[in-house]
Chains A and B, each alone.
Chain A
């Protein structure tokens, strides 16, 4: 693809989150904006948006959900003719919901993701990681992103939704169509349509053949105030599980693998100290936070001196917040036993990631299983690593040798 984009004049007034060097490494750009006289940048690109970069501002915006609404959460507006956040009336509750509905939309799925509830996926995730490693361990080389990270969350989600593993390729393609390649409007539309049609068929199947211990069956039977939940809600949750649970977690695992390939001292620290794991995972999630969300401004408001207008888009740059030196000492450094880590990789406030306990489990098991089998490894060529960015940041190809 030839790049016809117009060069960025100033990050403060013309940033481009889909510019290739920004995709590969957005941190210097975030830092330049954060330390400028205007830490909330603006661009006219992609129909315009604001980009706050300081921790304090990002968290404050996340708490003000009445002004900064979730009716649009994508960093780039949807194709013409497609409603914001929805396809044929199907959204992605609770991420696209605002109060008051947000409360029950979220409440219904929380039990599925509580720490006790996700613990049952630990062994399955481990088996799955081992099976992936079996495929390449004798070769002495592997793509830690495409051969490993990419396959883990999609299979875990397929298990949760009770759909066959052989949908893996389609799921991956659809999710990338919706998130990573959102500037390709045709592909985005097609991907959304495929997701909804697929789950519509699943729902029809469960109505005829209800299953035990099955999320879709349970959702269909859930009642709120004496009434069965609408079918759009069930479809929306399935849609959300794909778009929120796959690309995000795979990007986090990929970045962690990329980091570990370059840091033998961190591999050693983890090998020698089991107690370090929980804080280490939080620290890696802080530094490599993959997800940026958006908000739509509800009414004209001045926020930190910025004149925001109703309908404006604000990017919730959690990755930028996580590297603010006002909040984190030596923010660009990975300190596996960091004492104070109020990171917001999973967001903040009412929309804060509902799947975080599952995500943490997957990242930990992926790294632990790899390190048990392949304790020493390195990048084949740092320059050949490729990245996705914009809404979700992580490596898409990351060749390592061992």
Chain B
């Protein structure tokens, strides 16, 4: 999350996957693989981050 600047658009797109630390920067709420039912939302978060800070690996 090096280039995260706290837009919080990831948490808006996928609140189950992304949260916020006390500075408003993104945290990942899920350890390990993203469950299949949340994959769509997580992809949407990836596509909405203005800093392109989120990269979902296969």
Beta-carbon contact of A114 and B20 below 8 Å: yes
Q: Chain A residues with Cβ under 8 A from B5's Cβ?
A: 348-350, 352
Cβ contact within 8 Å between B6 and A110 = yes
Q: How far is the CB of A186 from chain B (nearest CB, A)?
A: 37
Chain A neighbourhood of B6, CB < 8 A: 110, 352, 354, 356
Whether, in the assembled complex, A279 has its beta carbon less than 8 Å from a beta carbon of chain B, the answer is yes
**Residue from the list A115, A343, A354 in contact with B50, Cβ < 8 A:** A343
Q: Which residue of A lies closest to B44 (CB)?
A: A339
Cβ of A207 under 8 Å from chain B: no
Residues on A close to B: CB < 8 A? 59, 107, 110-111, 113-117, 278-279, 282, 339-344, 346, 348-350, 352, 354, 356-357
Residue of B whose beta carbon sits closest to that of A112? B24
Q: How far is the CB of B49 from chain A (nearest CB, A)?
A: 7
Question: Contact residue range for chain B?
Answer: 10 to 19
Q: Which residues in A have their C-beta under 8 angstroms from that of B48?
A: 282, 340-342
B21 interface residue (CB < 8 Å to A) = yes
Considering only residues 30-58 of chain B, those with a C-beta below 8 Å from chain A are: 44, 47-51
B32 to chain A minimum Cβ distance, whole angstroms, is 24
- Chain B residues touching A, majority SS: loop
Judge whether A339 and B7 touch: CB under 8 Å: no
What 0/1 readout, one digit per residue, does chain B (1-29) give for beta carbons within 8 Å of chain A? 00001111101110000001111100000
Q: In the complex, are the beta carbons of A111 and B12 less than 8 A apart?
A: no
Q: Judging by beta carbons under 8 Å apart, are A339 and B24 in contact?
A: no
A-B contact pairs, 22 of them (CB 8 A): A110-B6, A110-B24, A111-B23, A114-B21, A115-B8, A116-B22, A282-B9, A282-B12, A340-B47, A340-B48, A341-B9, A342-B48, A342-B49, A343-B50, A349-B5, A350-B5, A352-B5, A352-B6, A352-B7, A354-B24, A356-B8, A357-B24
Give Cα distance in the complex from A117 to B47, angstroms.
26
User: Which residues of chain A are within 8 angstroms of B20 by Cβ–Cβ distance?
Assistant: 114-116
Residue of B nearest to A113 (CB): B24
Give complex CA distance A115, B23 in Å.
9
Q: Roughly how many angstroms separate A29 CA and B7 CA in the complex, as a whole number? A: 28
| Residue contact B47 to A279, C-beta cutoff 8 Å | no
| Contact status A356-B7, CB under 8 Å | yes
**Separation of A110 and B48 alpha carbons in the complex (Å):** 22
Q: How far is the CB of A173 from chain B (nearest CB, A)?
A: 31
Chain A's closest residue to B4 (CB) is: A352
Residues of B within 8 A of A115 (CB): 8, 11, 20, 24
**Which listed residue (A111, A343, A344, A348) contacts B22, Cβ 8 A?**
A111
CA distance A340 to B43 in the complex (A): 10
Q: Give Cα A344–Cα B52 distance, bound, in whole angstroms.
A: 12
Given contacts A340-B48, A348-B51, contact A114 B7 (CB under 8 A): no
Given the complex of chains A and B, what is the CA–CA distance between A356 and B13 in angstroms?
16
Instruction: Name the B residues within 8 Å of A342 (CB-CB).
Output: 9, 47-50
Q: Give Cα A110–Cα B23 distance, bound, in whole angstroms.
A: 5
Instruction: Give Cα distance in the complex from A59 to B50, angstroms.
Output: 9
Chain A: minimal CB distance from B8 (Å): 6
B27 vs chain A, min Cβ distance (A): 11
